[in-house]
Amino acid sequence: MTIVGTPKKAKQYVVGNPLIAIQMTQHDIRAALYAPLRVLVYKAADQSVYVEYDLPSSLFGQFGNAEVTKVAKSLDLKLVNLIAKVDKFNLSQSTKQAG
């Protein structure tokens, strides 16, 4: 990805489940602004890899709808757990390759 300057290694992912989006949009159509979610994975100058995302509860919580916020908080946990699993998998793969 190059916008200006030196090319960067980065990928943006769009992640979501239409059934979960329906759970939120049936309570507040504005939830469609942020469903599906976006996640950015990039390599920094020091070669570290980072995952950037907005917590769903912060995006959807702005609507002040308790039902939407409840679903969004469950998405927070799912997203954090998914990233932790990928990180753990990558760590175990690195260990296998080094050993």
Q: Does the pTM of the predicted model rise above 0.85?
A: no
| C-alpha angle 47-48-50 in degrees, rounded to nearest 5 | 135
For 4-37, write each residue's pLDDT tens digit. Answer: 767 789 999 999 999 999 999 999 999 999 999 9
Residue 26 CB burial class (10 angstroms; 0-12, 13-18, ≥19):
exposed
Which runs of E-coded beta strand occur in 1-99?
Answer: 10-15, 37-43, 49-53
Handedness of CA 57, 59, 62, 68 (dihedral sign): negative
